[in-house]
């Protein structure tokens, strides 16, 4: 009798387990795979498990390839993708025009910034190149910086320099202007100042600013093709190799939020005055791509996750929480627009031909 009861109980339990498994499988939503091509600085965001889970909650599985923003707008075959997500609004506008897309999404953005060190900030402040911005943050005066660069000033020629007497020019380390969006954003900033604080918009203005802006790249020597390169040099090799590194603000803030110790107590972030926002703009190429754009622009969980990766989202409150931990300003007043895609392309090509 006991044996029959035991067998019966085992059968009931087995059926219950099978029912749970079947019920679980039936309740699990089918995921629609959506392929996109993005700027490399967003890859960590899209591959993060929390982001993957947030998309899955809406029945979407996003798979991404990476490419530079210039390549996205010119050479990448977009026919196999549901969306293109460059880091540059000029590149996005060109894709939008070429593909005759009416709607785009800009779910987050990041201003350009300079990753540096406290002794460098103090030295440049003493020489009138760094000052306080509208809020309690330090800014690099691009006009003063261009004066030093034009004169070929070395670090060891700065008056009162005992903290960094290096025999190399005072230059911001950037990426390769022939390949990287961050270098194009830097070109947008320095060309604006070199053009008398006006966006470059004519061939005459391009010719006027080209000699001075090209020098900022050529005098660096070798440059890398992604902002991860100079930023990693900044983090690992320190002030000796990279006293001033052009980065996306999001890169620096992301490391602070991680709390992994990579941002050391003597490290600082400067903002250029003026700066340019790198506007991450998604161009949907299908209905599924449009759904991804809508989710990134409106879903609270995805917005919160984007902020934890250092991106400024459409909801300022989300970034404000992150900014408090990283000492990033909640708002930047001195920001300008980049030139049109065509003007930027001509300038970048002209600089590239001088290498």
The reply to whether 111-277+333-352 shares the fold of 32-108+279-326 is yes
Round to whole Å and give the CA distance between 45 and 81: 19
Strands (E), 224-321: 245-248, 267-273, 275-284, 312-313
Round to whole Å and give the CA distance between 271 and 287: 38
Residue 328, number of CB atoms within 10 A of its CB: 24
The CATH superfamily of 111-277+333-352 is Periplasmic binding protein-like II (3.40.190.10)
Give domain limits for the chain: 32-108+279-326, 111-277+333-352
CATH of 32-108+279-326, picked from 1.10.3080.10, 3.40.50.300, 2.102.10.10, 3.40.190.10, is 3.40.190.10
Round to whole Å and give the CA distance between 20 and 7: 20
Segment (H or E) for 264: none
Q: Along the 355 residues of the chain, how does pLDDT read in single tens digits?
A: 445 545 555 444 444 444 444 444 444 568 999 999 998 889 999 999 999 999 999 999 999 999 888 889 889 999 999 999 999 899 999 999 999 999 999 999 999 999 999 999 999 999 999 998 877 789 999 999 999 999 999 999 999 999 999 999 999 999 989 888 899 999 999 999 999 999 999 999 999 999 999 999 999 988 888 888 899 999 999 899 999 999 999 999 999 988 889 999 999 999 999 999 999 999 999 999 999 999 999 999 999 999 999 999 988 888 888 887 777 888 888 999 999 989 999 999 999 999 8
Furthest C-alpha separation in the chain: 100
């Amino acid at each position: 009798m006991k044996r029959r009861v035991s067998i019966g109980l085992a059968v009931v339990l087995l059926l219950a387990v099978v029912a749970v498994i079947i019920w679980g499988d039936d309740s699990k939503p089918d995921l629609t795979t959506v392929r996109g091509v993005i700027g490399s600085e967003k890859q960590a965001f899209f591959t993060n498990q929390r982001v993957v889970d947030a998309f899955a909650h809406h029945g979407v599985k996003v798979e991404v390839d990476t490419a530079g923003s210039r390549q996205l707008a010119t050479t990448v075959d977009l026919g196999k993708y549901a969306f293109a997500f460059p880091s540059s609004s000029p590149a996005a506008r060109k894709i939008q025009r070429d593909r005759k897309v009416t709607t785009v999404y800009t779910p987050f953005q990041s201003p350009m910034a300079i990753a540096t060190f406290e002794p460098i900030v103090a030295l440049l402040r003493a020489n009138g190149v760094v000052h306080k911005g509208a809020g309690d943050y330090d800014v690099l005066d691009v006009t003063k910086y261009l004066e030093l660069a034009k004169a070929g000033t070395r670090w060891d020629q700065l008056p009162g320099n005992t903290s960094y007497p290096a025999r190399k020019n005072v230059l911001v380390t950037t990426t390769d202007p022939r390949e990287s969006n961050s270098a194009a954003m830097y070109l947008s900033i320095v060309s604006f100042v070199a053009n008398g604080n006006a966006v470059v918009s004519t061939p005459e203005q391009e010719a006027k600013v080209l000699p001075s802006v090209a020098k900022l790249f050529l005098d660096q020597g070798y440059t890398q093709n992604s902002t991860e390169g100079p930023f990693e040099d900044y983090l690992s090799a320190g002030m000796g190799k990279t006293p001033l590194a052009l980065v996306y603000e999001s890169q620096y803030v992301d490391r602070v939020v991680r709390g992994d110790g990579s941002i050391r107590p003597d490290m600082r972030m400067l903002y250029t005055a003026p700066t340019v926002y790198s506007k991450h703009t998604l161009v949907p190429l299908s209905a599924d791509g449009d759904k991804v754009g809508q989710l990134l622009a409106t879903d609270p969980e995805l917005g919160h996750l984007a902020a934890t990766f250092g991106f400024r989202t459409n909801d300022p409150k989300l970034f404000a929480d992150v900014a408090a931990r990283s000492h990033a300003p909640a708002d930047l007043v001195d920001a300008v627009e980049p030139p049109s895609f065509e003007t930027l392309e001509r300038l970048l090509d002209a600089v590239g031909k001088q290498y």
